Amino acid sequence: MTPTPAGEDPVRPAGLRIGPLDLAARVDEALRVQALAFGLSEEEVGIRRYIVQRHMTCRGARALGAFTEDGGLAGFVYGMPNDRTHWWSGVVEPYLRAGGHEEWLDGSFVITELHVHPGFQGKGVGRALITLITDTAAEDRSILSAIDTDSPARGLYGSLGYTDLARQVLFPSASLPYAVMGAPLPLRRP
């Protein structure tokens, strides 16, 4: 999806408007979407609230939302330039180094979270969100992590040009292994 001229809605997948999101102000609404999409418990939501609020204070962090006609949030994405001092980089670095991909930690825009309400999944919302946020990245590549299973999310990322950089990555608090994926920017268009 390509951005539209200034003054027009950037994208309207599934009748939604994609635009800037004040994630710190709407963190609870975003986490309700994430809880539905990702199956989070109330305890996990509480932990993620703190993480999201901290992330939004990081240099270059930004968020986009997919908004319904009444302004409700149907999906969101946020990310930032990667920083090797962040927790995520510390966890994935040995896996990337083992596969000869450690350089991806430098000069990359990290997709920290991307979630779409189940009622809007499969309608191009996730594709619009991730494409638009990376289109404005100063970095020439993007990295992310996703549960290491054959899923619609991993299919979406692959269709955008993301490839596996490391598999079976174990995060301390996760019960399932993850894959770290990377793509050159701009992302591939269909």
Query: Where do we find the tokens 């009444």?
Result: 70
Please tell me what DSSP assigns to residue 188: P
In tens, the pLDDT along 74-110 reads: 999 999 999 999 999 999 999 999 999 999 999 999 9
Helix (H) or strand (E) holding 92, with range, is: helix 87-98
Closest CA to 125 of 73, 80, 89: 73
What percentage of residues in the chain have a pLDDT greater than 70?
94
What is the separation of C-alpha 116 from the centre of its chain, rounded to a whole number of angstroms? 10
In tens, the pLDDT along 2-37 reads: 333 333 344 588 889 999 999 999 999 999 999 999
Sign of the Cα torsion 173, 166, 183, 163 reads negative
pTM for the structure as a whole:
0.92
Kindly report the CA angle at 24 between 114 and 188, in degrees rounded to 5?
25
Please give the order of strands across the beta sheet that includes 108-116: 17-20, 62-67, 73-81, 108-116, 141-147, 178-184, 163-169
